[in-house]
Each structure stands twice: as structure tokens, then as C-alpha cells.
Amino acid sequence: MTGRATFGDFLQQARRDLDPGTQPDGTAAGENLAEVIRALARLVAVMRRYTGDLTAALPEVTPQAQPVLSPRAEACVGSHEALAAAARFLALRSPVLSQTVTAQPSLLARRLERAAASFRMGRDLLHTHYSADFASRWRPRSEWAHAITTEAVTGALLAELASFARQAADQCSAVALSPTTRAAGDRRVRWRLNAACQWLWALEASVRAAQQHAPTGGAGLELLAAIQVNTLPPRPVLRGGEPVAMLCEGAISSAERVRHLAWRAANRATSPRNLTVASMRQVAENSTVTSHNCACLLDTLATRMAQAGYGEVGERLADAAQAARSARGTWLHAARELTRVWTAAPPGHVSAAAIEAVELTSWTGRLAYADPQWSPSDGPDRPLRSPETLAAEELPQVTAGAHHACGGCPGLRRT
């Protein structure tokens, strides 16, 4: 709902890139062998970077103590080795490869090149959720960083790599064995391309075997595809009188900004100059109000779901409202305790995250209260939005807005 690129966008683009369409057997007459090999080598190189990431977190295998790896971990290691073997067969120097020049590029080579580019951008997206510290160790920069390393997500990513390896091998082996392929006289080049495809098939077979022992399921792929690029969304502007759908989008964007700024502050070196009473108090006070707004909104949603005949969903939303009220009490206690804290920094300085906390309070208040011009200065005594004002088609959007807003406040504890 924030309009930012997701890993699923690049995954779908790579699928379209490798789709042979209506070409028989995935190849066109006169495919250029040299271009196909160069393009496949680039795709394999990008896939090796993925498997390198997957194997980086595995325990080190030493002669003294060899850990017992799970089937999925063994598939990660085997995939990385299979891609290394395929790369060796593709890294050849042949007069045919250096001299072959065609007016029209190979259709398969272009698809492989585009797929490699999509994969590369997808990996760059995943790496926006990490940063390297002074010891070159990777540190998380968002909540997504922890999701990326879960068994479900890594298993889904490995399965996708295996699927693409199989598809690329099927098409490239057809080129290697096709009598219409240019550079037909170099049997050694054909043999090496076909051998590289054999290793890609071996990769897919090992991952498939691991999936039989520990199936990934659709949840891992859904979560993988939903990972967004870790950038600061633009600040939404609250003008007054916005419809419910726009208020939901604004609350989600504001909550994303809160989380991003909180993680950014946590990754910076701690300095008394940036840690002021004004910032901490503003965060605590606005998180108190935001938690209260979320509790009221979730109560409204629970009532509306019960009216629509979704009693079980309504009960869960009522439980979430109670959790938000509990969070309100915790933030209120923190705000009171901060009246006893002093820092050496100028008391008027406030952080970017503290400023955004005010914005999140306003967006959640416009959703929770009936007054379209509600502001934090109005307080909690204004009439709440009635359940009947929420249309059935708006319920998923409002639920998502409440979910993101409730998740934004805990992130402010890092500041």
C-alpha cells in the first residue's frame, strides 16, 4: 500500500523475462551460442551471490567438528557448489566466442540478460535491510531483516532459484543441441554449455529433494514477495476531510516512516547531543495518544466485524484493542518518568523520529474519531467514529492501517 518496490516485483519480472513465449522448445532458429553462454554466465553469477548469502549464516564446517546440517542447509551448500561448477564450464575462451558477431542479438540471450538484471536488483533490495559495521559484520536495519533469515523465507528463495535454474537449463540445453545454432562447428563449446546445464539440473534436483523432507509452503513465498525496499517513504500531508481509504494509506506511510527513522537512529553512534529529554518525552507522549487511538479504532473494527457476521475476527480485534490499551499504559508511565530525566543537550532539540511520532498521532486520530479535523490538542473526549460509518470494502484497509500504526509505536523505543 506504500507504493514501494517489493521483491515480488522483481521476481515476477524475472519470470516474465525467462518465459519463452510461443517459441518452439524455448528457442528460436539461429540462436547465437556465444551470446547465450555469456548471458547464462551472468545469470549464474547473480544466482551464486544469492546462494552465497544463504550459506553465509550456516555453521562453519571444519575437520575437527562437522555440524549436522538440515536437508535445506545441505541443499543451500549443494546449490552454491553446483553454481560454481556451472560457472567454470561457462568461463571458457574460444575463438568462436570472440569472433562471432551478429546483427540481431540472440532472443534467449536477451531474456537471460534481463532475468539476471531483475535478480540483481532483487538482491540489492534485500540488502537494503542490512548494514555493515566496523568489523564488516552485517547488522539488521529493519524488522524485515529478521524475516529474511527465517527458514520459511530462505526456503522459498532457494526454491525460486531452483525453479529458475531448471527453466534456464531447459532452454540453454536446447540451444546447445540445436543444429540451427550459430557457431555450430565448435563441439567443445556446445559440450561445455550442456555440461553447465547439467549442473543447473542437479541444483534443482537437490532442492526438490530437500523440499520433500521439509516443504516450504506458500507462506514463505508470500512473505518473500512482500519484502519492500528499505527506504524512507515520502511524508503524507494531512489536509482535512480525507476519505477513509486515504487516511489508512497515510497512517501506514507515517508508521513506515516512524519505523525507518527509529532503526536509522539505533544504527547511529549514541551521542548525548541527539538524546534529549524533549525527543524522548515527545515520543512517549505521542505514543501514548497513538496507542489510545489504535485501541479505540480496533474496538470500532471489532464491533463492525461482529455486525457483519465475523464474530471470531471481532473477538481477535477486541483482544488487539486490549493490547493497545496496555501499551498506552506503558507509554504513559514512561512519559511521567521522563519528567525526572535531564540531559546535557539543548532541551528543545527533537529527533526526526520524534517529529514523525506527532504525525502518526494525527493520522490515527483522524481514523479513530468522527471529527474530520481532529488534532492531538482536542484530546480523547471527542466522539469516536461509529462502526456503521465503515463500509464493508473499507474493513481490510482500516485493519491494515491499525496494524501498521500499532506496530509503529514499539519501534520508537529504539530512539
The pLDDT value recorded for residue 23 is 52
CA–CA distance, 28 with 215 (Å, rounded to integer): 36
CA–CA distance, 77 with 207 (Å, rounded to integer): 10
The pLDDT value recorded for residue 410 is 60
End-to-end, the C-alpha distance of the chain in Å comes to: 26
Other C-beta atoms closer than 10 Å to the C-beta of 33 total 25
Q: What is the pLDDT of residues 228-246, one digit of tens each?
A: 999 988 999 988 889 999 9
Give the cell for residue 405. Answer: 500504526
Q: Name the residue among 53, 57, 407, 50 with its Cα closest to residue 263.
A: 407
Q: What is the pLDDT of residues 143-164, one digit of tens each?
A: 888 889 888 999 999 999 999 9
Residues 139 and 149: beta-carbon distance below 8 Å: no
Split at pLDDT 50, 70, 90, the class of 94 is low
Residues 362 and 347: beta-carbon distance below 8 Å: no
Maximum mean pLDDT: which of 47-61, 245-259, 343-357: 245-259
Whether pTM exceeds 0.85? no
Residues 122 and 11: beta-carbon distance below 8 Å: yes
The pLDDT value recorded for residue 353 is 86
Give the cell for residue 344. Answer: 546535557
Q: Name the residue among 305, 318, 80, 26 with its Cα closest to residue 203.
A: 80
Split at pLDDT 50, 70, 90, the class of 179 is confident
CA–CA distance, 226 with 219 (Å, rounded to integer): 11
Split at pLDDT 50, 70, 90, the class of 107 is confident
